[in-house]
Amino acid sequence: MKFEKKRAATKQSIPTASLPDIVFMLLLFFMVTTTLREVDVLVSFRLPEAKAIEKIENKRLVSYIWIGQDGKIQVNDSLTKLEEVQKIMYAKRVSLPNVIVSLRVDKNSDMGVVTDIQQELRKASCLRINYSTLLKI
């Protein structure tokens, strides 16, 4: 007796016609969500870790100050001196009244430089700050 394999009558290929559409959809999603890095970080730093951390919801309000391992201070995209921080941050505060300053400080730095920055920020009346930390697991 001869057995014959049952075959489906339909075509055995995956329809690829809509593949570009799907990919374009994904592409659009990533294009919309991407924020290309605007500034080059010129200082080297490793963030400390903490557990009780919160997210900054509104990224537009955030302005960064970096303090590196060697105590260098970077605001915006260039290294600055401590005395100039106040002027720069005051200008920022005028253009963006509820600015949040995110301090990205290397974990081995001293409190002295952090306090100095904080004093400058207080003088520039940028009072909302955020110590940038990673999540401790």
Partner 1 sequence: MVQIKKRKKGEPEIPTSSMADIAFLLLLFFLVATVIDVDTGIGLTLPEFVPPEQQEVVPISKERLAAVLINENGDVLLNNEIIAIPQISKSLKPRIESKIELPGNKKLVVSVKTDRKTNYNLYIQALDQIKNAYFDVREAYSLQRFGKRLVDLDEKSDEIKEIREKIPITISIAEPEAIKK
Using CB under 8 A as the criterion, which residues of the chain lie in contact with partner 1 when the complex forms?
16, 19-20, 23-24, 26-27, 30-31, 33-37, 48, 50-56, 59, 62, 100, 102-103, 105-112, 114-115, 118-119, 121-123, 125-136
| Nearer residue to partner 1 within complex by CB, 3 or 22 | 22
Please report how close the Cβ of residue 1 comes to partner 1 at its closest, in angstroms.
45
Q: How far apart are CA 133 and CA 52, in angstroms?
A: 10
In whole angstroms, the minimum distance from the beta carbon of 6 to partner 1 comes to 32
d(CA 71, CA 53): 25
Closest distance of CB 59 from partner 1, Å: 7
CB of 119 to partner 1, least distance (A): 7
Classify each residue of 42-66 as buried b or exposed e, where b means 16 or more C-beta atoms within 10 Å of its C-beta: ebebeeeeeeeeeeeeeeeeebbbb
Nearer to partner 1, 19 or 42 (CB): 19
Q: Give the dihedral of Cα atoms 21, 24, 26, 28; nearest 10 deg.
A: -140
Q: Closest CB to partner 1 among 9 and 52?
A: 52
Tokens matching residue 87: 């002027």
What's the CA gap between 11 and 13, in Å, rounded? 6
Using the minimum distance from each CB to partner 1, give the nearer residue, 60 or 81: 60
